[in-house]
A and B are shown apart, each in its own frame.
Chain A
């Protein structure tokens, strides 16, 4: 029961990842691509959490937390660059 649910959830999240990558490719603006990358890292955290349940291992949460932090910093830095032309003033 639970194993099937994890597999179905994985398929849904992978479909979401494919849609995000499609948006990264077609753009059309820089902000669209940044937004798609932002969603991409959130969905990859979801996939990592599902993998943790699938393999019954708690070791994936540190990776999920790291991806969450680095992804946020990346989005912020890219937006700052678009807004000001510089990241650290």
Chain B
């Protein structure tokens, strides 16, 4: 293969090693969003402050359940955990409840959640484009809804 397509040594490791977040915090990757949360509960899973839930994944806890827009998923109190008088929301148990996979590095407390299977259903059934959220080089957030009303070519490429 041509040399021009091989790795540029200067770009293989362009990032200096640094701490991802301060001790006691966690970083959550959720469908394109990266959220650092200041505190977490103790345990095998990821216990978060319920107030952090909206910025992580857009859900809000209400009396009727975990709500995303008009859609509410009844969850009762089963996903709330109390430790030393502090109430936490078990985000990994919520993912299990939704059938959503995740990978967590418990040593570093960095957690990455997979796409919700339900979000793919419309594409697989009637070919409707899935929603996504990316940021363009000008800093503007672009999602699928922004492109509606126009024909769109959505194309990927890479330098490698």
Query: Are chains A and B native binding partners rather than an unrelated pairing?
Result: no
- Give residues in A with beta carbon < 8 Å to B: none
